[in-house]
Each structure stands twice: as C-alpha cells, then as structure tokens.
Amino acid sequence: MTWLVPLPVIMPLLGAAVALLIRRRPNLQRVVSLLVLTCTLAVAIALLVLASTGAPLTVAVGGWAAPLGIVLVADRLATLMLVVSAAVTLCVLVYSIGQGLADGDGATPVAVYHPAYLILTAGVTNAFLAGDLFNLYVGFEILLAASYVLITLGATRSRIRDGTTYVVVSLLSSMVFLTAIGLIYAATGTLNLAQLAGRLDALPDGLQLGLQSMLLLAFGIKAAVFPVSAWLPDSYPTAIAPVTAVFAGLLTKVGVYAIIRTQTLLFPDGPAADLLLVAALLTMTVGILGAIAQSDIKRLLSFTLVSHIGYMLFGIGLASAAGLSGAIFYVVHHIVIQTTLFLAAGLIERRGGTTTLDRLGGLARLAPVLGVLFFLPALNLAGIPPFSGFLGKLGLLQAGVADGGALAWALVAGSVLTSLLTLYAIGRVWNLAFWSAPHAEMPALDGATRGRALPRLMVSSTLALVILSTGLTVISGPLYELTTRAAAELRDREPYVHAVFGEEPP
C-alpha cells in the first residue's frame, strides 16, 4: 500500500492544474476542488490506519533509493497531521465556496483562489511527508508561494501592506533554513533525515548547537515563536476569513511539526532543550498579554494563537514521552479550534459588519446559532473541562510536574496563568459582542437579510468543525493512545530509520 503515500501531494497539485485549465468555469472549479480534498482526506485516513497498525510507510520517488533520492515517510505523526489538515482544509473550502456564492466571488476570485488553495494544501502535505531536509524546504516554499497569493486576494491597501510584511518575514525564515541546510550538508554529506540521525551525533557539541539553533530560528519564525512572532498579528487578520482561518490553523503548525521532527530525530539529546522551555514560557505570556489588550476579535485570536504555540513548545522542550504526546495532542486540538474560531469570527464580521468589540453587541439574541458556533470552541480554547483543550493542557502539566525541573515548574505555573487569561480574553469577547446591547451601527437581522448575513454553507462548515472539535473530547482516549505511540516512535528513532533504509544507514 506504499503507493498511497505520495497521493496527498500529487492529487492537490493535479487538481490545481485542472482548476487553472477550467478557470472560466467557476462551478466546475468548485467541484474539482471539493473532489480533490475529499479524496485527499480519504487517503490520509487510510495512511493513518496503516501507519498505526504497522511500520512507517516509505516511498522512494522516481525509484531512486535513499539517501540519493527523495523519500516520503508516513509514520504515525505524519499521517495524523495529514488527517487533521485534510479535514480542516476541506471544511474551510466549503466555507469559502459559501462565501463566494453569497458575495458573487468578489472577494475570492475562484480563477485564482482554487488553484492557489490546492497548491497550499500540496505544500502542507509535502512538508508532513518529507524524509529529507531539502524536500521539507520545498514543502515550505510551495505552501508559502501559494500563501503569498491568498493573503493578498482582493488587493486592498491593507492586505497588500500586511501581505508584504508576511512575504518579507517568510523569505527571511526561508533564507535561514536554506543556510542551515547548506551547513548541515557541508558537515555531514547528506540531507536525508534518517541518515542525519546517525551522522549528526558524531559532530562536536558546539557545531551541533549551532546547526540546531539555526533550524530552530527558521522554524520558530514560521511557527511564530516569541521573540520572532510580531509579524503574525499584523499579517493574518486583514486577509479574507477563509484564508485567515486556514493560515491560523495550519501554517504555524507546519513550523511546529518541523521542530518536533528535527528535535526528536536529529537532536534528541541536543543542548537547546532549556532554550525551548524559555521560549515556550515567553511565547505563552507575551502572547496572552497581547491578546487581552486587543479590541478587535481577529487580532485577539491572532495573539492567542501565538500564546498557545507555547504549550506545544512546552511539551517538545521536556523531550519526555509524556511531554511529546501532550504536544502532539495539543497540536491536533489547536489546528481544529483555531480554524473554527477564525471561521466564527468571519461570521461575526458578516453579521455585525465589523470585528471591533466596541461596535458589536447583542449577537447572542440576534444570531443564537452564531453564539453557539463561537461559544463552544472558545471554551475549548480556554481549557474548560471536559473539552480537549483541558485534556491537552492537563497532559502537559502532568509531564511538567513529572520532570520536576525549575523551568518545568515555571512552565506549569505559566500554563495555568495563560489558561486563565485566555478565559478572561474569551469572556471579554463574549460579554461585549454577544451579551451587551446591540451597537447602533449594527445591521438588523430580518427576513430580507437573513440569508445574506449567514449563508448556509458558511454556517454548516463552521458547525462541522465545531462538531469535530467537540468530537476530539469524545475520542480523547484513543487519540491520546495514538499520540503516546507516536511519541514513543519519535523517541526511539529506529522505526523511522529502519523504514527508510531497512538496516543501518550508510
């Protein structure tokens, strides 16, 4: 069944080509995009089942065996990320189709949107499956090239300005990553991850630290880790709602995934673990302090996005099985929750005409369905029991307590404080936007505007993600068992290396 492995990359790329060829037929473009992403989700689920019941699946692209050829590797971590990303991108696509049908595609011209969206999906899946550093770099560049198009759709002044910031920062991180790749190849003679797992261990400690630090800097910029996170709140909120949602849910997590993969496979005993813990604590606290100072919902959610990246770094920095398992669980949870909240924010903007808290009010009475769509994922983000956000944070706190170090205890305290401040920030949004009296400038919700205010496809796709996020709580036991096995596989390294080479790497 190894022939399934490259399909999550190939299908979106072929779908993008077809979408370009039929660019004058928008309805057919929508059908092609939906079909491609549905098939991608089905293949991702099949790969997850196969990887969970056996060894990692590998494919040598073009028949060139490792380490000379490009290798795609589907282990538990990669396939789990594939499933979650495919589910999220499919729901966001449905949301964007609903928005385009309601608005006449003025804000999201399908001739450009659908091909770029599918190319973005291909870049994400390629990054998850990459078995060497250069192919990981290619995955990042594919998704970034598509994101440059998506973030500036509509060509408004604010989108061009903020999109320029995003492009500059992305190019900077790519330059750092490419420089690190060159230095690693010069030091080891290979870029294959499985082969690097043995060769990097033989390098002097100082050189290892330098290479590890460069990779962490490159991935930290992409993941919006403090102090290289200031670009995100200024870049994401100005894009159209579907683009903001998929960026917030997925793109930063690709950076987190790269940190997990390289830390566990290349630098399992690297000297930068304490640096990760310090960065985690600063990312948590600075991000959430920025969130509570915001008066715009999308900017507030952008700062909470930065803040909760700290939870993932917490687990990675602990480097224990429990810490890694908690980090992977929290990545899955956060992809779904953050995407859902940004889609709900798009509905709030559509219904209220703005996302500025001072100009909203009364949405709980005027649009009760919208209230539910925001309220449930908001509680989940804040970590209220028994939601998956609570379970993920509890697992990380237990891992921190088990570690017992001073930094681990500081992060335990910081995690609790961040969770409380997240609840305060979310509660403030609920109070001002939903419970307070409607602002005088808000449009009334009557029979003539109801369909235009909340299109069914936009509501149904957001509802699907709310159900999925709630379902994570229901399946938290099996999901945590899966993330625990994934963490054990990451710490062992042998299953990955053996799947690529079948023996000790040359």
- CB burial of 385-404 (b: ≥16 within 10 Å; e: otherwise) equals eebbbbbbbebbbebbeebe
Residues 81/64, Cβ–Cβ less than 8 Å: no
How far apart (Å, rounded) are the C-alpha atoms in residues 306 and 221? 11
Q: 446 pLDDT band (50/70/90 cuts)?
A: very low
Mean predicted confidence (pLDDT) in 171-192: 94
Q: What are the C-alpha distances in Å from 76 to residues 26, 83, 252, 313, 481?
A: 37, 11, 20, 19, 11
Q: What integer pLDDT is reported at residue 270 of this predicted model? A: 67
Residues 350/501, Cβ–Cβ less than 8 Å: no
How far apart (Å, rounded) are the C-alpha atoms in residues 449 and 263? 52
Residues 229/306, Cβ–Cβ less than 8 Å: yes
Q: What percent of the chain has pLDDT over 70?
A: 94
Residue 69 backbone dihedrals phi, psi, to 5 degrees = -90, 175
Structural tokens at position 68: 């000379």
Mean pLDDT score of the chain: 90
Mean predicted confidence (pLDDT) in 239-259: 92
185-210 per-position pLDDT tens digit: 999 999 999 999 889 888 888 899 99
Angle of helix 476-492 relative to helix 494-501, nearest 10 degrees? Answer: 70
- SS3 category, 387: coil
Structural tokens at position 367: 């649009």
268-326 per-position pLDDT tens digit: 876 788 899 999 999 999 999 999 999 999 999 999 999 999 999 999 999 899 999 99
- SS3 category, 69: coil
35-92 per-position pLDDT tens digit: 999 999 999 999 999 999 888 999 988 777 777 788 999 999 999 999 999 999 999 9
Interacting residues of 160 by C-beta distance below 8 A, sequence separation 6+:
152
